[in-house]
Amino acid sequence: MAQQLADRTFRYAVAKPTYNTGKGSLVFIDEAHHNFHKLEGRFHAFAQLLKDDGYVLQANRSTFNKQSLARCKILVIANAIHPKNQRDWALPAYSAFTNQEIQAVKQWIYQGGRLLLIADHMPFPGAAYDLAKAFGFEMNNGFARRIIKKKNLKRKLDRFNRQSTTLKSHPITNGTGTQDRIDEIISFTGQAFKIPANAKPLVVFPEGYETLMPDTAWAFKPETKRLPIKGWIQGATLKYGKGRVAVFGEAAMFTSQEVKRNGRTRRFGMSHPEAKQNPQFVLNVIRWLDGKLE
């Protein structure tokens, strides 16, 4: 695969910023767990979007514990991975977090912390499985993809919208009015997961999708295990104690990246021409975590 790079040209005009510049809540973007997406790396566009909404961004390079988490209001973990899998995207997939870290995050959220947990396709769900399971989410260490029965048929975008009921009514999608209401989002190949009974679904897979679970990322074979995933989830939220959790199974939709190949640059994520509402959706997710959307 061609290397994914940060798209540093992307900028979204935030109509009504939540805070004055630099006056918002402190958001930590985790970089302590060999994360594929980092503040000044592939999550640059995400960070810039939040800064334009007034939030303060800082990289977290510390192990999760009571002291390290105490300073931030919102913790963003995007595609953490165990060092054994950093260059070897193959089974087994090890947890990126120790049991002590998971308990620290759980306690922090129960007391009022806010977590955005993003784990993309395999091997990232395996790395985040234990942390997600602590809140009742069951991640699938695979690739959620549309079922294509004909060979050489071009794969379509993963499109979730209100019309098809794959994008659910929620404070995040309803916003405060027409200016920040979300009717459709696009995702770019992630995973599917199951949610606990007290979680609220946001992004739901329709009929015609499956999860493929290869031994090595992208190495699909006729014998690769596959399961239908109608009704499985790619985005959901949970209120936990005094805190909040948002879990998503795809990372590119939260940022903007580019791939250079044969002298050409292809951009995807928030910059994709059909992902027009993705940036506002990302803002709404953070605003919900921050308690600004109810």
Domain-embedded: residue 177: yes
pLDDT, mean over the chain? 96
Q: What is the pLDDT of residues 58-96, one digit of tens each?
A: 999 999 999 999 999 999 999 999 999 999 999 999 999
Q: Is the pLDDT of residue 1 over 60?
A: no
pLDDT of residue 277: 99
pLDDT of residue 152: 59
**Which residues is 5 bridged to in the sheet?**
258
Domain-embedded: residue 168: yes
Domain-embedded: residue 216: yes
pTM for the model stands at 0.97
Q: How many CA atoms lie within 13 A of 193 on its CB side?
A: 36
Specify the amino acid at residue 104.
A
Are residues 245 and 135 in contact, defined by beta-carbon separation less than 8 angstroms? yes
- Distance (Å, whole) CA 125 – CA 94: 10
Q: How many domains does the chain have?
A: 1
pLDDT of residue 153: 61
Looking up tokens 């709404």 gives: 284
Comparing CA positions, the residue from 148, 168, 164, 167 lying closest to residue 156 is 148
| Residue 259 burial class via C-beta count within 10 angstroms: exposed 0-12, middle 13-18, buried 19 and up | middle
The pairing of strands 26-30 and 233-240 is unpaired
Residue 22: Cβ within 10 Å count: 10
pLDDT of residue 149: 79
Domain-embedded: residue 294: no
Domain-embedded: residue 258: yes
Residue 199: Cβ within 10 Å count: 20
Strands (E), the chain: 4-6, 26-30, 56-60, 74-78, 114-118, 138-139, 143-146, 158-161, 184-187, 193-194, 200-204, 209-213, 225-228, 233-240, 243-248, 256-261, 264-269
| Residue 256 burial class via C-beta count within 10 angstroms: exposed 0-12, middle 13-18, buried 19 and up | buried
Q: What is the pLDDT of residues 129-185, one digit of tens each?
A: 999 999 999 999 999 999 987 765 677 889 999 999 999 999 999 999 999 999 999
**What is the average pLDDT across 288-292?**
99
| Percent of the chain's residues with pLDDT above 70 | 98
pLDDT of residue 191: 99
Q: What angle do CA 102, 103, 104 make, to 5 degrees?
A: 90
Q: What is the CA radius of gyration of the chain?
A: 18
Domain-embedded: residue 157: yes
- In CATH, what number is assigned to the domain containing residue 165? 3.40.50.880
Domain-embedded: residue 61: yes
Domain-embedded: residue 18: yes
Give the range of the structural domain holding residue 177, as residue numbers without chain letter.
4-289
SS3 of residue 97 by DSSP: coil
pLDDT of residue 148: 87
